[in-house]
Amino acid sequence: MEIVVATRNADKIREIRAILPGGFKLLSLDDIGFDLDLEAAEDGESFEENVIKKAEFVRSFLAYDCLVLADDSGLVIDALGGLPGVDSANFMGRDTPYKVRHEWILAQIGALGRSARFVCVMALATPAGTRTFHATMEGKIAEKPAGDGGFGYDPIFYLPEFGKTAAQLSMEQKNKISHRGKALLKAVDYLHENFGI
């Protein structure tokens, strides 16, 4: 079964491939030669709105019947009123290095509460319509960055139950508990139940 993943982010594709059971062939936007700008479809005010628009935008341009999987995810920090939130990928500018974003967040938080969560909403656009799947990973903002695994905000996202940041976990550990992993498994259950795959 072919699934087009609505992203060019190689890290996301790698994570999804590691989580997805056998029997699925994942294609990225680069694999199918999709050269339209997805940012135009990501102007919603919520993760769900963005991910539905993204999945349906990609599917509308494909000439063959396929499934399109899209993911919109981000870091939500309570003490910062939910920032960076739905704008996590573009926070402080898309080209701003994550190290700079980490430093800014840590400076802003100071002694404020550190509760935070990663949120993921996945959309699966099929011939029968579009379904969404929600999941979170609860944690805290670390006192300083640690680890060189993962990507994005992982080095400053601390998981008390492991005593490590998300960037210090192995990919296998992270995929079992991550927001993206949990949302993806819900999508896989839906495929099994409704498409027999």
- The question of whether 65 is a catalytic residue gets the answer no
Q: What is the mean pLDDT of residues 158-174?
A: 94
Q: Of all helices (H) and strands (E), which one includes residue 25?
A: strand 25-27
Compute CA distances 168 → 98, 105, 159, whole Å: 16, 19, 10
Compute CA distances 90 → 45, 71, 93, 94, whole Å: 14, 15, 5, 4
Residue type, position 167, single letter: A
Compute CA distances 142 → 17, 44, 47, 109, whole Å: 28, 29, 24, 10
pLDDT at position 162 over 90: yes
Question: Would you call the peptide bond into 84 cis, given omega within 30 degrees of 0 as the criterion?
Answer: yes
Q: In the prediction, which pLDDT does 95 show? A: 92
* 189 bridge partner residues: none
Q: What is the mean pLDDT of residues 64-68?
A: 81
Q: In the prediction, which pLDDT does 63 show? A: 66
Q: State the catalytic residue, choosing from 11, 31, 35, 72.
A: 72
Tokens standing for residue 15? 């994570």
pLDDT at position 161 over 70: yes
Compute CA distances 160 → 20, 89, 143, whole Å: 27, 25, 12
Sorted by where each starts, the structural domains of the chain and their CATH numbers stand as 2-195 (3.90.950.10)
Q: In the prediction, which pLDDT does 73 show? A: 92
> Does residue 120 contact residue 134 with C-beta atoms inside 8 Å?
yes
Query: What is the sign, positive or negative, of the torsion defined by CA atoms of 185, 187, 189, 195?
Result: negative
Out of 21-25, 37-41, 55-59, 64-68, pick the least confident. Answer: 37-41
Q: Which of the pair, 36 or 169, is modelled with greater confidence?
A: 169
> Does residue 122 contact residue 132 with C-beta atoms inside 8 Å?
yes
Q: In the prediction, which pLDDT does 108 show? A: 93
